[in-house]
Each structure stands twice: as structure tokens, then as C-alpha cells.
Amino acid sequence: MAFMHERLPISSPEEQPPLEVLMEPGERIREIYAAEWRRLRAFATLITGDLSSGEDLSQSVFVEALRQEREHPGYLRTPAWPWLRMVAIRLALRQRQRMRMQLDRLRLLAASSAEPEWRAETLDIVRALKRLPPRMRMCVVLAYLEDQSTASVAEALGCTPKTVENQLREGRRRLRSLIDAS
């Protein structure tokens, strides 16, 4: 393995570059990886909230470190931990932002493609129904739109008829309020 110092003309010990510059990029990253990967993986797991995501993030940080070290030998100074931590935070924030944008796109796609064409009068009711909690919405739809009895709604949802009655009463109140507000 050829080291950079063999290619650099150095006239005196005072003019020698730091050891990081003298090492091949891959060698420097291996050294940093051996010293810091456990710490970085633990940190990444804490900031992502998941071991698998933490491991992926850690690997991405080391890929970025290798890229930087190849493009700019000596870029990573000792100690490397502050740089590794900063890159992990930045990559995690970028990944979170990308995921949030992707989720927003999926929500828009689902909302636009899943909703059938409603008449204007019906649209207010549909929008209000969407704002009810799931169980309450199911009670209202089954009882009032599917014309099911309280007993059959209770059986379908696995609850008591009294629960269905309470859900229907509260559902009517909320729907009235939501529709009046629109």
C-alpha cells in the first residue's frame, strides 16, 4: 500500500502534514470505524428510535466519511466523533424530511383516488364522517346508512348495544356540530 507521504516532498519534520493526511482514505476510515462504530450505532439508534434504522444511518455516515476522505484527504480530523455525530444528525433530519414528504404525497394520492364523486350535499356529510373516531364512524354508517339495528351493529363491532347507543348519540352530536360549522 502506497502512502501519500511517499509522494509528498517534505523537507523538515515541522512541515510534515498530520498523520490523517499521510494515510490512505480507506485506511483512515477503517481506523475510525474500528474506534467509533459502536458509539455511532448507539447514538443513531437513539436519535432514530429503532435499531435497524440506527444501523442504516451509521452505515450512511461511514459512506459519507469515506466519500469525503477520498475527495479531500485529511478531511476528517482527530477526534472524528464530532463530525460523525453532526453528519448522523443531518442525515437523520434529511431522511425524516424525505419520509414526511413521501407520506404527504401518499396521503394526497389516497385522498384523491379513494374518494368517489359525491354530490355537494353529500360531501359535507362525508367530510364530517371522516372526522369522527373510527368506532363511532362505523356505528353511524352501519346504523343510519346501512339501516342496521343496534343489536346487529353491536354484534358486528363486538361491543354491547348500550355502547352502540352511546356512540350513536355522541356521533349525532358531533356530526351536527361539524356540519353546522362547515
Per-residue pLDDT of the chain (182 residues; tens, 9 = 90+): 343 334 434 344 454 444 444 457 678 889 889 999 999 999 999 988 889 999 999 999 999 998 998 888 877 788 989 999 999 999 999 988 888 888 888 887 766 655 567 677 778 888 888 899 888 999 998 898 888 899 988 988 889 999 999 999 999 999 999 888 87
Q: Is 25 exposed, middle or buried (0-12, 13-18, 19+ CB in 10 A)?
A: buried
Please report whether residue 8 resides in a domain: no
37 and 98 share one domain: yes
Residues 140 and 175 in one domain: yes
Q: Is 162 among the domain residues?
A: yes
**Tens digit of pLDDT for each residue in 123-149?**
888 888 889 988 899 999 889 888 889
Closest CA to 59 of 27, 99, 91: 91
Q: Of 57, 83, 114, which one is at a domain's C-terminal end?
A: 114
Q: Is 100 exposed, middle or buried (0-12, 13-18, 19+ CB in 10 A)?
A: exposed
The verdict on 84 and 139 lying in the same domain is: no
For position 155, which CATH number holds? 1.10.10.10
Q: Is the domain of 78 the same as that of 145? A: no
Q: In terms of domains, do 34 and 89 share one? A: yes
**144 shares a domain with 108:** no
1 assigned to some structural domain: no
At 39, the amino acid letter reads R
Choose one of 114, 129, 144: the last residue of a domain. 114
Q: Count of CB atoms within 10 A of residue 76's CB?
A: 20
Specify whether 152 is located in the same domain as 129: yes
Which residues are within 8 A (CB) of 89 and not within 5 positions of it... i.e. 6 or more apart?
A: 47
Point out the domain boundary residue: 114, 143, 170: 114
Same domain membership, residue 104 and residue 27 = yes
pLDDT, tens only, 152-163: 889 888 899 999
The domain in which residue 99 lies consists of 15-114
